[in-house]
Each structure stands twice: as C-alpha cells, then as structure tokens.
Structure 1
Amino acid sequence: MKRAVTLLVWALTVASPAASAADDVQTLVAVASDRSPLAGLKPADLRLAFLALPVGEGGARPRPVINQSNPLLYEVFLQKVVFLSSQHYQRQMVSHVFQRGGTRPAVVDDERRVVELLREDPQRISFMWAKDAQRYEGLKVVRVLWQGPVR
C-alpha cells in the first residue's frame, strides 16, 4: 500500500504543471561583439570585470555593460556570477569609485541598447540568456556563466 501511494504521488508530481516549470532550464551567457578578443576570459576574470576591478596582466581590458533589461536575468547574474545581492553589489560599485577612482560599469535597461553597445566596442562585455543571444547578429558567446532551472 505504501509503495502504491508513493508511486501515485510521484506520478502526480511528474505530471503537474509545477514540475514542468521546474524543468525550464535557462542558460546565462557572457556575450561580446563577434570582433571581441575577450574569448579567453575565465569565470573569475569575468566576475572581477563586473565588479569593476582590474583583470589580468595587460591584454584585453573588458568594459562591462550591466544588462538590466530583465529583472530575473539580473538577479540570476548577481547570485550566480557576482555572488552578491543587489544592495551589496551597488555598495561595492560606489566603494570602488570612491576608493580607487574607477568608473562604474554602464547599466542599460534595454536589451537592444546592450547589443548596440557591444557591437560598437569589441572590449565591451555583457550577459543575457543564451536563447536571446542567438537572435542577434554580430554577437558571440564568450562563456556560459550558469545553467539551471529558473522559477
């Protein structure tokens, strides 16, 4: 009897709409112009770039563009790439500007504008869902940043 109940619960869980939503896997990618030399950046380098900190010795200097066109995308980026909450990330940026004299990354809330900025400057780098990145010519995926279910 116990086994039959377990099987029934499992079957209902698999067939439920919530289960299919949990299977909706998204892929967060770093993107740049297809002319960009930034293809060799490691995940740690990307994190440093988005924290407006120096990356590597010489070579290509990434100029990050924060893509805020989608609140869920931005939240996943903060949690899975930068490992900070929005509030802590903003504090980090302000602190960097005052302590080191740096500049904050550009923040853009329109995906098309993000793409324009990337196409204009091969040193710029941003992030978006992989399915969205495929829609634009002149962009390339620099690195997969994270993949998993999004709710």
Structure 2
Amino acid sequence: MHLSIATSAYAEERRLLLITKPDYKPSPLDKNELRRLFLGIPVYRKGERLIPLVNKSGDLCYQVFLQSILGMSQKRYERVLVSGFYRQGVRSPTVYTSQDNLLLDLKNKKLGISFLFDNDSGEEKNFNVVQEIWVSDTP
C-alpha cells in the first residue's frame, strides 16, 4: 500500500525519524533489526538491549510506521504481538498515546528508541535522530 500525505494543493515532504534521548547515539538499524525491535524481539547495541517505545500519539504516524516499516496492518501487528507473547514469552513494546509522555519517557530511558514525524516534534527537538526510516513522496 502506498501512502501519500497532502496538506494543501501541494504535498509536503514528511520524514519518519528513529529517535533516542539526546546523549544516546546508537548505530543505525537495518530494516530487519527495526522490525524485530518493534515486534518485541531483542535487538542489541554494544551488548545492551534496546527498549522500543511505540508512538501511537498520531494516527498517521502510527499507520505509516506499521505499513511502511513493519509491513502490516494494525490488527495484524496486534495479533503478532499477542502470538509472540503466548508462544515465546516475548513482551510487547510499551505503547504511548501521548507524544509528551513518549518524549519524557524517552529522555529517562537510557536505551529507549522510538519514532515520530520530523515536523511533529514541536519547538523542542531535544532528542537524537538515529536515522530517517521513511520519507513521503512529493509531486
């Protein structure tokens, strides 16, 4: 499925960023590591397990993440998480419906990692951008 984002007669380019707290700068994740991380499967950097924080504060951001990064619908994602828990004891990532709470927790978790649109961060950009994980198409 292809998502396009239009804000007026012209589309605005948007970027989905993978972020951490300002002083934590892990190396970028490949697509497989990114999928595993947000499916609750351990991913490590320098021997330490990354902590995925799911940003569900904006529906569009969450849907782009699910469809373009994980390659699945919300319903399928939730089923995969539940199945992983019952089959292998895999804990689901923490989900945040408030971006303020997400960014606050991200700053307090040494190995926390999450995602958000570049223009959704407001005035305070007090986080480290690990990598760009998706860019919208522009006309």
The answer to whether the superposition gives a TM-score over 0.5 is yes
Within 5 A, what are the aligned runs for 1:29-40? Answer: 29-40=17-28
Q: 1 or 2, which has the higher helix percentage?
A: 1
Q: 1:81 to 1:58 in 2, by over 3 A?
A: same
> Normalization by structure 2: what TM-score?
0.84
- Percent identity at matched positions? 29
2:10 maps to 1:27:
no
Preserved CA contact (<8 Å) 2:53 2:94: yes
2:88 aligned residue (93, 97, 100): 100
CA distance in 1, matches of 2:105, 2:116: 14
Structure 2 residue ranges without an equivalent (≥5)? 1-5
Instruction: Give the AA of the match of 1:61.
Output: R
Aligned residues: 133
CA distance in 2, matches of 1:85, 1:113: 24
Q: 1:87 to 1:20 in 2, by over 3 A?
A: same
Within 5 A, what are the aligned runs for 1:55-70? Answer: 55-56=43-44, 59-70=47-58
What is the RMSD of the two structures over their aligned residues, measured on CA atoms?
2.3
Structure 1 residue ranges without an equivalent (≥5)? 1-17
Kindly provide the CA deviation profile for residues 40-77 of structure 1, in whole angstroms up to 9, marking residues without a partner as x.
Answer: 32232122100111225862311111111101110000
